[in-house]
Amino acid sequence: MADSHLLQRVDILCGDFEETKKYAAADTFFYLDPPYKPLNDTSSFNSYVKEAFDDREQIRLRDFCNGIASKGCSFLLSNSDVKGKNPADDFFDDLYKDYNIKRVFATRMVNANAEKRGKLTELMITNMEGNMYL
Ligand SMILES: C[S@@+](CC[C@H](N)C(=O)[O-])C[C@H]1O[C@@H](n2cnc3c(N)ncnc32)[C@H](O)[C@@H]1O
C-alpha cells in the first residue's frame, strides 16, 4: 500500500533516455544506470534491447549528461570501471573528464569463474561536488 501510495505521483516511461530531457528543470536529479560497458569479450552482456549499447551510445549518453548539466540539473551515473581491468583504458576518464569520477567497490556474487566472484570497482560519475551522494 505504501508503494502504491508513492507511485500515484510517479510517471514511468518506457523509451530512450533522451525522452526524459523534457522533464529537466534546475532542481531535477537524474540517476542514470545504463547498460555497462563490457570489461572483456566474455562479459559482454549489455544488450537489453535489440540495439547494442555500444561506445557510440555511451558517447550519446555523455552528451545527454552535458545537456542536463547545462540546464542546472544534477546527475549521478554508474558504469563499469574499464580502467580497473585495463589501466591503459581511459574511455570513461576521457569521456567524463569535466566531471567528478569516483571508484567504488561493488561485490559481484555471480560469475561462471568462481575466482572472479568478489570485489571489483565501478564508476560513480557526477556533476555534484563533494561526497554527499556516497
Ligand atoms: C544496468 S540496467 C539498469 C537496471 C535498472 N537500474 C534496474 O535496477 O532494474 C540498464 C537498463 O538500460 C536500459 N536501456 C538500454 N538502452 C536504453 C536507452 N537507449 N534508453 C533508456 N534505457 C535504455 C535497458 O533496458 C536496461 O533496463
Distance CA 63, CA 61 (A): 5
114: cell is: 568462481
Give me the residue label for grid cell 567524463.
96
Q: What is the pLDDT of residues 114-130, one digit of tens each?
A: 666 667 899 999 999 87
CA of 16 to the centre of ligand 1 (A): 9
Q: Spelled out in words, what is the top-level CATH class assigned to the domain 16-126?
A: alpha beta
Among protein residues, the one with the nearest Cα to ligand 1's atom 24 is 48
Residues contacting residue 92 through CB under 8 Å, at least 6 positions apart:
37, 58, 79, 81, 82, 83, 101, 123, 125
Whether 53 lines ligand 1, by a CB cut-off of 6 Å, is yes
| CA dist., res. 80 & res. 43, Å (int) | 11
Band of the pLDDT at 44, cuts 50, 70, 90? low
Ligand 1 atom index nearest CA of 35: 10
Q: In ligand 1, which atom is closest to the CA atom of 36?
A: 1
Q: Mean per-residue pLDDT for 20-34?
A: 95
Atom of ligand 1 nearest to the CA of 51: 16
Are 80 and 26 a contacting pair, CB within 8 Å? no
Q: Which residue has the cell 556474487?
A: 109
| Shortest-distance Cα residue to atom 4 of ligand 1 | 33
Ligand 1 neighbour 64 (Cβ under 6 A): no
Q: Where are the domains of the chain?
A: 16-126
Q: How confident is the model at residue 111 (pLDDT cuts 50, 70, 90)?
A: low
Digit-coded pLDDT (tens) for 14-25: 999 999 999 999
